[in-house]
Structures are given as C-alpha cells and as structure tokens.
Amino acid sequence: MSGPSIEHPHGTQFDAFLYAPVGDDQNGFVVTVLSALARLGLDPWKEASELGALPREAARSRLGALLASFRDVPAMVREHAATSDRLTRLLPERMRQTPKLPGTLGAATQALPLGAIIAVSVVLLILAQLFFFAPLGAGG
C-alpha cells in the first residue's frame, strides 16, 4: 500500500523531522517540531511539506524565523539558528527542487502521455491513407 494509512494519514516522509526534539519547555517536557509548529498555530504537515520543497538555505532561514518566535522553549531564543540547521537536515531530500537552467524543460514537461502519442499516430495514419490512396480526379 503506497498511500497514507489510517495510522499515518499524512504519510511518514516527514516523521524524522516532525518528531525531532527542539528542546525542553518551561515544565521540563521535550517539545518536538510537530508540537512547536502546532503551538505556533501552524499545520505541522503542511509546514513540513513547504519547508521540504524549499532549497536547504531557504528552509533553514524560514524554520529559524519560526523557531525564533517560539517562546515555549527558553533555550530556543538563542539557539534557533543551530537548531534550524540541525532540523532542516532531517527533511526528505527527494522533495527538494533542483534548479533548472533557463530555457530547459523539466522531464515531466518533455514527456507526452501515451494516449496523446497514440491519438496523434492514428490521425497521421488516417491522413496518410487519405492522401496516398484517395481516388484521383475523374479526368484520369
């Protein structure tokens, strides 16, 4: 089964990131990225997905800004940069967009669907038959 399961409705690709600790809160409890993002009023899986799609430096900067505003973990005020660096390394690499050279197409835009290729081929065959095998004029 490749889709999300009942136990993991959002999938598991962000588990290492979302369940990583960011530090201890004022009561001594370990706070995870998931908890920190939720306490900031954000959807943790949506935020993880958006961070995962960014280049690493942009993700680090965005996560650092979020963690800097997170006051439930006292150590985060001074350690948000190092923590965001450590945490962004836990985001899945395969989601990162690779920069494309100007004027080039990505692989997804270069490939035609099989149905389109078949349809074009059929139309070309019909046109070729009409052109080559059409009856000549009556003056013959």
pLDDT band for position 125 (50/70/90)? confident
- Asked whether 10 and 45 are in contact (CB, 8 A), the reply is yes
What the block records as the tokens of 96 is 């990162």
Question: What is the spatial distance between Cα 55 and Cα 94, in angstroms, rounded to a whole number?
Answer: 11
pLDDT for the residue 79: 85
Output Rg (C-alpha) for the chain, integer angstroms. Answer: 27
- Give residue 127's pLDDT: 81
The per-residue pLDDT for range 42-55, each reduced to its tens digit, is 999 999 999 999 99
**pLDDT confidence of 6, banded at 50, 70, 90?**
very low
**Band of residue 129 on the pLDDT scale cut at 50, 70, 90:** confident
Segments making up each domain of the chain, as ranges: 15-95
Query: What sections of 55-99 are H helices per DSSP?
Result: 56-68, 76-88
29: confidence class by pLDDT, cuts 50, 70, 90? very high
Alpha carbon distance 57, 85 (integer Å): 9
pLDDT of 140: 52
